[in-house]
Amino acid sequence: MGEAAARGQNAAMQFDIAVIGAGPAGLSFARAMAASGLGIVLVERAPETALADPAFDGREIALTHRSQDILRDLGAWERIPAEEMSPLRHARVQDGASPFVLDFSPPGETPLGVLVPNHLIRRALYEAVRDAGCATLLTGVAVTAVETSPRGGVLKLADGREIRARLIVAADTRFSEARRQMGIATRMRDFGKSMLVARVAHEKPHGGVATEWFGHGQTVAMLPLRGEVSSIVLTLPARQIEALMAATPEAFGADATRRTDGRWGAMALAGTRHAYPLVATYAQRFVGTRFALVGDAAVGMHPVTAHGFNFGLAGASRLAGQIRTSQDRRRDIADPGGLLRYELAHRRATWPLFTATNAIASLYTDDRAPARVLRGAVLRLGAALAPARRLVAAQLMEARAG
């Protein structure tokens, strides 16, 4: 595996590529580089047991068709149990009691995507990397410093070890410490709210329809799972989320039924509850000298379009493809021109939807009268324009060639 392995007890470990973070983006990047012949190390602060058997975290990932193809190519898709996959047949956007609904339907019988629990994707990617033997995994240790120069990069670890590499890739969350140490500024939008996710059983069928419902002072999403079960996603001020996290299961079910106006019938909590802060981020640069960002470290999306995870997979695939192109052309794997091409391609793929998502989230969570009037007009216009809805549906599906 390239220049892997330390030379002596006190020598820095030498690799071709060092990846910070063994989440989905870091793992998928490492697996995509399996045939490159390069020495790759993944550095992860969590213990390996948390990668091999991740705990359920409440998040259901809406995978586009392209993301499904990427996971197949990485040898991860077949590792996810089919019974844990839920087809997403339609998507619907509603605003309060407005009679106008934006309904996004795919052409023919092809679902918009498929919902898969996040922890199962993480486990599948870990197993794909492990079985391919394509990377050295250092777990239970944090990176304390990141330095790069035209000659190479250095990672300093909390246990005193050092890693030297020709390229450093940061995949360490939207609050990336590596990104900050490299002096890369980030557009950060704190929406001042938190998100609660939980599985709920309900009386009425969901029909495979995902619903995003903007109500007064709240946003509710219902993601259809197997059977008469959905993942409810509540966006509320932090104090209200804290109260719901502490509520009894019976009180939570009653509250969820009330918040959804009984549209799905009576609800009952069917699993654990999980809360997350609602912050969107976009790095002003995705690359630097012998350095690149992937996953949420590059683009941390608001969940309203459910595209953040898909962007992470696509970005890791895009960077790996560019590095392989540099190899084929007998150039440095950290060739500045190659890294810049990755940045430009990933920015073109992510910036329009990132901007639109934030605008939608701002408009539909603003309860002032002018905003209510504007979003009502948007819904009426969108409901009347079938071609526009088909275009959005195609983007949600994310064609394989994209």
- Quick check: 302 pLDDT over 80? no
Closest Cα to residue 242, out of 217, 199, 278, 274? 274
Whether residue 211 is contained in a domain is answered as no
At 98, the pLDDT band (50, 70, 90 cuts) reads: low
What mean pLDDT is reported for the chain?
86
pLDDT, mean of residues 276-299:
96
Domain count for the chain:
1
Residue at 271 is within a domain: no
Q: What is the pLDDT of residue 7?
A: 37
Q: How many whole angstroms separate alpha carbon 279 and alpha carbon 63?
A: 21
pLDDT at residue number 371: 44
Is the pTM above the cut of 0.95? no
pLDDT, residue 193, reads 87
pLDDT at 96: 58
Q: Above 80 in pLDDT, residue 330? A: yes
Per the structure, the complete domain to which residue 359 belongs is given by 13-188+280-397
Residue written as tokens 């379009």?
Answer: 305
What is the rounded average pLDDT of the residues 41-64? 96
Between the alpha carbon of residue 271 and those of residues 61, 122, 164, 196, 386, the distances in Å are: 17, 19, 44, 12, 38
Return the structure tokens found at 395: 């983007």
Q: Which two tokens stand for residue 258?
A: 């009330």
Query: Which backbone phi and psi does 260 adopt, to 5 degrees?
Result: -100, 10
Residue 106 included in any domain: yes
Q: Give pLDDT, residue 385.
A: 41
Q: How confident is the model at residue 9 (pLDDT cuts 50, 70, 90)?
A: very low
Q: Does position 225 have pLDDT exceeding 80, yes or no?
A: yes
Choose among 135, 64, 86: nearest CA to 305.
64
| pLDDT at 392 (0 to 100) | 43
Neighbours of 367 (CB within 10 A): 13
Examine residue 266 and state whether it is found in any structural domain, yes or no.
Answer: no
| Residue 127 maps to a domain | yes
Mean pLDDT of 122-136: 98
Q: What is the pLDDT of residue 395?
A: 47
Inform me whether the pLDDT recorded for 99 exceeds 60. Answer: no
d(CA 164, CA 153): 6
Helices (H), 269-334: 308-328
Asked if residues 48 and 55 have their Cβ atoms less than 8 Å apart, the reply is no
Residue 120 neighbours by CB distance under 10 Å: 18
pLDDT band at 315 (very low <50, low <70, confident <90, very high): very high
Closest CA to 351 of 291, 397, 293, 311: 311
Give the pLDDT score at 49. 97
Please state which of the ranges 157-161, 364-368, 375-379, 385-389 shows the lowest mean pLDDT. Answer: 385-389
Residue 168 placed within a domain: yes
pLDDT for the residue 273: 98
Residue type, 257: T
Check pLDDT > 60 for residue 402.
Answer: no
Q: What percent of the chain has pLDDT over 70?
A: 81
Q: Taking residues 149-176, report their average pLDDT.
A: 97
Residue 383 is predicted with a pLDDT of 44
Whether 105 and 90 have beta carbons less than 8 Å apart is answered as yes
Is the pLDDT confidence value at 208 over 80?
yes
d(CA 26, CA 43): 9
Q: Domain containing 113 — which CATH number?
A: 3.50.50.60
Contact 130, 75 (CB under 8 A): no
Is residue 229 assigned to a domain?
Answer: no
Residue 228 belongs to a domain: no
> pLDDT tens digit string along 354-370?
887 766 655 445 555 55
